[in-house]
Structure 1
């Protein structure tokens, strides 16, 4: 049978066009899931108000080199993530848009990198499956839709892995090899662990040794220049920062430099002072829940995994790197669930190659179905109890809201989500279990990003108590905050003074008393639960509840006649930081 001489080229072009259309469809679905809700909510604790306030101060002050919160150096993280929020805020003037947009874009970049690598290493089917699995894991969308720093550093780490894998398995591609190291440098000045893709060199070198020189074209002397590129990119910020510190030579600047270079890196890893967890924390507490159902799918394909490890050195490298990342973070005493997020994209890619066109173990489908059914029933039951003002739930919610209808509205939302999960199970009963789960999760994300945001917004910001203070005091008053948190600066339309992040509470109160004596129209915000020596709660104005605490407004009438002077005078002033909030808010 004869064939047209250009039919092969036409088929190739058709396949290429099909891949492009599929990628566009994938991006469209992911964009809806990630971008819906941007602009509908404000920054929420714990981390979002901090980064949003730093970005706002960058734009207002024009000082972008060293992050500052409330006029005080912020030494915990390098500035790249805050730069991106500040850049969007500078361009748009809309902080509610700016604080979520960078991570949303990074989430899409991560998804495209995983898809493209799947196409290059295997085929389009594996690529689509990898993207599907990545969106299925709750941790990915959770971080892409928030303003924590981890989604961005995960993006740079994924691009670092992309460059190395593309060079060694779909190359050589020296441009991508050096770009990988460049992204590691960018990751370092986003959050210190940006170097993690370098761990991939260990299984790559092992594969090279097993294959007796199979990477000759990809591993030459010039490969040693990769770490130089990484350090050069990191130096773009580190060197100007050090020069600035040397120039100003203040104790605060020197403390900032030493903190960001040493305490927040090696010391924080080796001798953590917070989030202390046992070595098995990620394996037992984090990955089973936040990567669900990927760990179950992996266990259901153990036989396929052994076969894939024999057939595909790429899978060996990807799984080995994921294991190294988990081990790296497990060795540190301080652990948070977001730490292992950078390993998720490569795990999804490896798992897609393992499970491609293979049936899972027989137990997998009924287990996933049972979990979805039980979750739907649990959500409906909890929603109905909340709707009917179940006493235990009323007590819990009352800590966060004085609105008697808040629990009723929350119950309706939770019950609706439970019904969605049950309907997905019933309507898609004949579809594979992961498709049913995906449908339920995607609708849930859309409901949460719209309806859920409107329910949570009053509970996750302190705007209510600050608005009460503003209405009582007028625009010329100034507020001081004892034991401050960034959200109380970010949402205030009055001038704000705080007395140092992390200062001893006793010194905080003494500084507040001294600050009040030095001027007129000065008032202090403090939690009702805090003990007071330099003030009294008698006659204080009750402003309401925010973040589970009742807040009081203290004026000169609550000021003690005398108070021991603070060991060190610390006052950090921010003029009307909440100007970004619409006046009707």
Structure 2
């Protein structure tokens, strides 16, 4: 590996960080400012953060005041800190900003890994490729637990690479010919490695993050040990105190919660066994063979070329190519064994694929350069062909395209220009210029997509209008009751988060009566945000009046699923509730 002086390395690192943060920050801040409404899934962490700030209870997350145990609290703390610094308690833009502030370090960590293994040219391209992969982009601007877990997983891998592949002038934590003792000492980076490995349980729950971080490392080390026919590669990681550190970090929150809510054991059983072999999110065994090319867009082709170019070296000897291939392939291969599969599980291996894409760009660019030069006016011909293809598609699906002719004409113009720019870039004699030419229309596509999506593809517009109208109709001295959404549970978070007033979660009419008596002046009347299909249930508890109904609710299959504001006058005395029913609906939520 080329030796770099500390001064040169420091200067180059700062320049690279500024470049990457400027491009990625500019890319991600557009949806922060002009993005569509957060979905129910995306509202989970922001709402629990909002309630933590309000209640001051930082250990146990709540939803509408009720305990919610599905996710550990650290991502909520992160969002809460961003809320506090900005002085905002609930905002889609600020919640997105919290996700962006987690995504940017992931890019820098990936660049650091690529720089150590392949040099600065590949590193810069890998960082920008990762930033513009559509799957990573989607989670970089949405405050879900996955982007926070990805930060921890990538930090584990970066620390492993720094120890396993030390610079020429650096004494690595695992370098040397000694035989580390199981109970002996290790350098501080090794302790940090185990601490971060345990911390992979702090974002999305137990085990999953640890598996995502450990899989490429274990695969790489086992392959090296088998090839060398020695346990030496494994010895530094067989460390009693390190595994105790990892275990303590991993179990800190679960142990604290089990004492108060032992039912969390049932949650873990349902979540992990359900995904593993009980059919939850069941997909066919070949699911990831289709999803991997999809999540890598628009860099799928160079990523696959990079994999092919690295395969021989990865097979022949332990080194940089083998580790990157282990990082890219371990997650889809391992996850294919489980019933539960989803494309966002691949988020944690995208850094490896981004580095492979950067490696594959040079041979792919060389091949395209030779072929395109054989075709006169290739860039212009390609632009015309893509314009005709886009225009034909627009005409055929005209009635299904939001924005109709304006969208079609704009898409035809942009696609033709982007094609011309990319094909022209592929004929540049310098790889960096070619890469910039390819990257520019990709960035432009994301920037143009954000306002279009917010204008035409925001499914929550009618629901937001309904919520604002409902809030204006509920007296200030009466609590806002929100019926738990059994049709789409995560939509409960959406309603609670997008109300300006704090909402109180209820599971059934009898609980509505109890909480109204505790929180309002008129204990016989309650205002409940529910769906139209909940009406028969509430009629069992009193007289129900429809105050306001949404004109359309996101994801509705029929009008019975529309959101409604009910005013309920409870029967006095209230008829008894079915015990079996209450036992089901009042369980601890997850």
Distance change >3 Å, CA 364–CA 465, structure 1 → 2: farther
* Residue 343, structure 1, aligned to residue 355, structure 2: no
CA 1:360–1:272: 2 relative to 1, 3 Å: farther
Q: CA deviation at 1:314?
A: 1.9
Moved more, 373-382 or 179-188: 373-382
Q: CA deviation at 1:312?
A: 6.3
Asked if residue 555 in structure 1 is aligned to residue 572 in structure 2, the reply is no
Q: Distance in 1 between matches of 2:332 and 2:161?
A: 19
Identify the residue that residue 468 of structure 1 maps to in structure 2.
469
Cα offset, 1:65, TM superposition: 0.3
CA shift in 2, pair 1:105/1:525, >3 Å: closer
Q: Is the 8 A contact 2:296 2:353 kept in 1?
A: no
List per-residue Cα deviations over 1:4-57 (Å, max 9, x = no partner): xxxx99999567645542332122111111233325457612322221110011
Cα deviation for residue 305 of structure 1 reads: 2.8
Match of 2:59 among 53, 59, 65: 65
SS state at 1:75 partner: coil
Distance 2:341 2:382 in 1: 28
Find the counterpart in structure 1 of residue 489 from structure 2: none
State the partner residue of 1:82: 76
C-alpha separation between the residues in 2 aligned to 1:326 and 1:519? 55
Whether the 8 Å contact between 2:109 and 2:155 is mirrored in structure 1 is: yes
1:254 maps to which of 250, 262, 268: 262
Q: Equivalents in 2 of 1:179, 1:547: separation in Å?
A: 45
Q: Are 2:364 and 1:352 aligned?
A: no
Q: Deviations over 1:193-231 (max 9, x none)?
A: 221322212321321442456966x84476454332221
Structure 1 Cα separation of the partners of residues 382 and 70 of structure 2: 39
Q: 1:446 to 1:222 in 2, by over 3 A?
A: same
Q: 1:51 aligns with which of 30, 45, 51?
A: 45
CA distance in 1, matches of 2:571, 2:455: 39
Distance 1:157 1:12, change over 3 A: closer
Which residue of structure 2 aligns with residue 399 of structure 1? none
From 553, 561, 572, the equivalent of 1:546 is 553
Query: What residue number does 1:526 align with?
Result: 530
The answer (yes or no) to whether the contact 2:332–2:346 under 8 Å persists in 1 is yes
Partner of 2:163 in structure 1?
167
Secondary structure in structure 2 of the residue aligned to 1:480: strand
Tell me the SS of whatever aligns to 2:424: coil
| TM-fit CA distance, 1:160 | 0.8
Report matched runs for 1:179-194 at 5 Å.
Answer: 179-191=192-204, 192=206, 193-194=208-209
Q: For the residues of structure 2 that align with 1:362 and 1:31, how far apart are their CA atoms?
A: 31
Matched, 1:105 2:120: no
* Residues 487, 110 of structure 1: alpha-carbon distance in 2 compared, 3 angstrom cutoff: same
Compute the TM-score of the two structures, normalised by the length of structure 1: 0.77
Aligned residues between the structures: 528
Q: Is 1:288 matched up with 2:293? A: yes
User: CA shift at 1:85, angstroms?
Assistant: 0.9
Distance 2:459 2:300 in 1: 36
Matches within 5 A, 1:125-140: 125-140=121-136
CA distance in 1: counterparts of 2:345 and 2:529, whole angstroms:
34
Change in Cα spacing, 1:462 to 1:311, as seen in structure 2 (3 Å) is same
Unaligned runs of 5+ in 2: 174-186, 373-377, 427-433, 486-491, 557-561
Q: 1:526 to 1:411 in 2, by over 3 A?
A: farther
Deviates more, 1:9-18 or 1:192-201: 9-18
Hey, what's the Cα distance between the residues in 2 that align with 1:274 and 1:221? 34
Root-mean-square deviation (CA, aligned residues, Å) is: 4.1
- Distance in 2 (CA, whole Å) between partners of 1:377 and 1:145 is 33
Question: Is the 1:185–1:194 contact (alpha carbons within 8 Å) kept by the matching residues of 2?
Answer: no
Quote the Cα distance in structure 2 between the aligned partners of 1:311 and 1:87: 45
The residue that corresponds to 1:490 in the other structure is 497
Q: Is the 8 A contact 2:65 2:505 kept in 1?
A: no
2:200 match: secondary structure:
helix
The TM-score, its normalising length taken from structure 2, stands at: 0.77
Distance change >3 Å, CA 454–CA 208, structure 1 → 2 = same
| Aligned match of 2:329 | 323
Could you tell me which residue of structure 2 aligns to residue 396 of structure 1? Answer: none
Q: Equivalent residues in 2 for 1:194-233 (5 A)?
A: 194-195=209-210, 196-199=212-215, 200-211=217-228, 219-220=235-236, 223-233=239-249
Q: 1:467 to 1:267 in 2, by over 3 A?
A: same
> Displacement, 1:445?
1.9
1:526/1:306 Cα in 2 relative to 1: closer, same or farther (>3 Å)? closer
The verdict on how the C-alpha distance between 1:372 and 1:99 changes in structure 2, with shifts beyond 3 A counting, is farther
1:241 to 1:564, Cα distance in 2 relative to 1, 3 A: closer
Q: 1:223 and 1:373 mapped to 2: Cα distance?
A: 62
Q: Once the 2 structures are TM-superposed, how far is the Cα of residue 510 of structure 1 from its aligned partner?
A: 6.0
Provide the rounded CA distance (Å) in 2 between the counterparts of 1:563 and 1:371.
73
**Structure 1 residue 68 displacement after superposition:** 0.7
From 249, 256, 277, give the equivalent of 2:283: 277
CA distance in 2, matches of 1:176, 1:291: 32
Distance 1:514 1:20, change over 3 A: closer
* Pairing partner for 1:177 from 165, 181, 190: 190
| Alignment CA distance shift 1:452-1:463 (3 Å) | same
Deviation of 1:427 after TM superposition, in Å, equals 3.6
Instruction: Give the Å deviation of 1:291.
Output: 1.0
Pick from 306, 309, 312 the counterpart of residue 304 of structure 1.
309
